[in-house]
Chain A
Amino acid sequence: MRIEIRGLHKSYWMNDAEIPVLRALDVVIEPGQYVSLTGPSGVGKSTFLHVLGTLDTPTQGQVIFDDVDLWQQPPAAIARFRNKFIGFVFQFHHLLPEFTALENVIMPARVQRAPLGPAVRRAKELLAEVGLAHRIEHRPGELSGGEQQRVALARALMNEPRVLLADEPTGNLDETTGAGIHEIVERLNRERGITAIVVTHNPRLAERMPRRLHLDRTGLHDVGARRPEHPPVPT
């Protein structure tokens, strides 16, 4: 899925005083690209990711997915788009504490009102894939941080999204566990051609990614695109 950002502005308001966060950003992310996003704290990386992922409204500008200007669509259509095409992984996993790992993973399918049987089968496969086949009936409170993040990853993949947005997915995990998560994301990008955008503070991690974006007060910059180890998979 090709993502195009045109003239993106995003401001917050405090008692009618405008606080600009993102200013005139333009970027094109080709289908199947694996992109890292780095930058100093408070520069708006998360906000950028949220606007990109339709979680927040742009003050100005366009977010275009495959020639569709998303913010011209009605809210429900945007929600359905998000459900179908975008998977999120956050630093704080954000699982629903009242539901078991399995229920958390099938949630996107239930939101889509998909039939339950196939959804449960797929959720079990995904949990097995992230190495949690034995913990499907546990609630998030009963899982370790790494396990929770893997459940969150499985949930993000439930509806076979075309875009995966990760906001410091390993920020709270030790290096080994974090590396495991990244391996999974890398494999998904390689094998299924998922477009992945990962916000990270870890320069070594960013180094591994084929395309690196850097956001600072002056704007969004491409910092030395590495030769891709594999060609982008056409979608």
Chain B
Amino acid sequence: MKRIIYGLLVSLLFISACEKNLDPEIYGNINTSIDFPVTEEEWELYALEVYKTFTSKWEYIPYEDINGPVLYHMWFSIEESFFQLFDYGTDQMAVFTDWGSRFEIPSTANYEPYVNFPENQCPFNKVKEVTRMTKIIDDLTNADISTEKKNQLIGEARVARAWTMYFLLHLYGPVPVILDPELVNDDAALSDLTRPTRSVFVESIAADFRFAADNLPQDMPDYGRFNKGLALTQLMRLYMNEKDFVNAESVGREISDMGFALVEDYASLFMEATERNTETIYAISCHASGAGRPADANFNPYSFYFFPYDYPENPGWAGPAQAPYMVTWEFYHSFDAADERQATLIASYESTAGSTIGEADMPGAIINKYPKTSTETFAGNDIVIARYADVLLMLAEAINENNSGPTAEAIAMVDEVRARSGLAGLEAGDIASKDAFNDAILRERGWELYFEGVRKFDLERHGEWPDLVNAVEGKLAGPYLLPIPQYAISASGGTLNQNSGY
């Protein structure tokens, strides 16, 4: 008996003295103790994270709080998306108030209330993504992989960083960002919200796009990855909006030399069957199997925002006789009768209730720019980001600026775009002067590029913000820039100044 007792006592002591290290067992991710990334494939997986905020899905969820998942939006989501931020508030779009302030604010362009928005609802949160991209770019620079692959991945990451900064520049002006890889985990630097100068900020964007343009091919290994044309188009847009028309023209000519050409049918640009064509430089590659969930393919949910719920086919979520995204009647009627582009808008329909809904019933015309052909819930039409018609119109504008008036080359570029939609060349009055030509280009851009996320930039560049906007009933546009959110101003301890007008 005693032996048993003693034996057990000893074992108890043994257990008590046990000093195994209680090591962490963490699953579902790769611990820092493991060498990662090593292979070229691993480096690619690491680099591709830069695309997350450039996908078309409902949202991403970095964490959950006591109220549940906290939703952040991609640039190509719905709420606080590039469209809502750069098109919704413009003169082309009708005001929509049924879904609360998240839609009312961007549709009326009264950005004032954004100051109180929490971090997840403010695109200002994307300053964090710039830091991540800096880290990825630096890690790739030190990666032991082939130079070709390395430069491709760095190129893609630099497009992501520059594009993010370009959006931020036009939302908030120059904002603090981490571009020095030494500082990506330095709490002091990460808390310093002093704004850089505009020139430093712009030069950094330009350098990123330039690197990408020089290192990315137009035909990427997978369709839908950032390509040379996108980098150049974005670089051109940057220069245009900074009114650096010399550089803009030079980049525009570089794009012209790449062999893009306008397609014959304007509407075909936005259709699923013809979405890959000679004109589209870059588009978000979508597929109808996508339902906006994290693991899905990119989706095109616009039919739900274009059509009223009493529309007989592909009904949307709002209604009756209205939808969140509608163009104003003024814009609808501004098209020339011969303009084929107007056919992407719908002015009347037979409702499911059996009545005819027309201009008197709807706050605006229905957009049908991305007609849904799939039998799935959502459409698979690629979302067009950059196309050659835009480049032609920008190039014409740059040439006009650089030559203090329209040249024959510039006029031909605009006319080429018009001709494709069944219109005659510009009238004499439109090419009579630099200003007249500029005005004609802005109008042409409106008809050509509506709902493509460029209108707000154009209005500002042409000095039409906010006046042209406020001519529309219900619009309440103030400053071009959004207010810096209060949370960021508070966190800065006073170093981050508010944009003027707020």
**A and B associate:** no
B-side residues, CB < 8 A to A, are none
